[in-house]
Amino acid sequence: MRVVHPDHPLIAHKLTYLRDKRTDSPTFRRLAEELMTLLAYEATRDVRVEPFEIETPVAPTTGIKLSNPKPLIVPILRAGLGMLEGMVRLLPSAEVGFLGMQRDEETLAITTYANRLPADLSGRQVYALDPMLATGGSMADALRFLIDRGASDITAVCLLAAPEGIERLQREMADVAPPVTLVVGAIDERLNEHGYIVPGLGDAGDRLYGVV
Ligand code: URA
């Protein structure tokens, strides 16, 4: 697995306000989208493109456009939804699939409760979005789900990661070729005994959408 951790002051600045417990939900949602757009710039570095001819007012030239099939963006429900707008802002012609992964707060076990994805993902570039890479369990399950459907070109994007989550994903994705790319806004200190990232930002889903 290739880990990309972009070093940019705007990423650190937006993350600071996401972490701050005084930040309200509307502001948190806006910042999560903006941060995602910055990470999307890095995550799409290898997006597939092809040349095509255009004419400027002055002369013909060759430009590039996104290749078909278009990339597929997969927010992992529910918190990944908070990153979707920030990603489609840069890739408006991408298609969007949905995958619902849920963590049992007691056992930390993961279950899949929803999916709306093409049956065959072979040949698709897939971007999986989940803000918090904590234990790495739900992301590993989500990526395995996508790989089982034929995906072989996967970029996972997380706003924050714990070292434990990165290590687990490294282990679980070690046999995947071509390697999965992981783009993260920051790598924090550790997980606490409740599976929260420290210092982290708390429960990303609750901070985006409230405790429902
Ligand atoms: N999920 C969250 O929303 N926050 C954490 O700190 C860990 C998992």
How do residues 155-194 score in pLDDT, each as one tens digit? 999 999 999 999 999 999 999 999 999 999 999 999 999 9
* Residue 103 among the catalytic residues: yes
Segment 111-115 mean pLDDT: 84
Which residues face 52 on adjacent strands? 63
* Residue 61 among the catalytic residues: no
Percent of the chain with pLDDT over 90: 89
Tokens representing residue 178 in the block = 């071509």
For residues 108 and 147, the model is more confident at 147
- pLDDT at residue 71 tops 80: yes
Question: What pLDDT, on a 0 to 100 scale, did the predictor assign at position 112?
Answer: 81
Q: How many domains does the chain have?
A: 1
* Residue numbers of the domain that contains 109: 2-209
Q: Is there an atom of ligand 1 within 6 Å of 159 CB?
A: no
Res. 108 pLDDT band, cuts 50 70 90: low
Mean pLDDT of the chain: 95
Per-residue pLDDT of 56-70, as tens digits, reads 999 999 999 999 999
Residue 35 φ then ψ, to 5° = -65, -40
Question: What pLDDT, on a 0 to 100 scale, did the predictor assign at position 158?
Answer: 98
Collapse the DSSP code of 68 into the 3-class scheme (helix H, G, I; strand E, B; otherwise coil) and give the result: coil
What residues are designated binding site for uracil? 197, 202-204
Tokens representing residue 120 in the block = 């065959």
Which residues face 63 on adjacent strands? 52
Omega of the bond leading into 60 within 30 degrees of 0 (cis): no
Q: Is there an atom of ligand 1 within 6 Å of 161 CB?
A: no
| CATH (domain of 145) | 3.40.50.2020
The residue count for the chain? 212
How many Å from the N-terminal Cα to the C-terminal Cα in the chain? Answer: 35
Question: What pLDDT, on a 0 to 100 scale, did the predictor assign at position 104?
Answer: 73
Question: What is the identity of the amino acid at 49?
Answer: V
Segment 135-144 mean pLDDT: 93
Question: What pLDDT, on a 0 to 100 scale, did the predictor assign at position 103?
Answer: 67
Which of left, alpha, beta for 99 (phi over 0: left; psi -120 to 50: alpha)?
Answer: beta
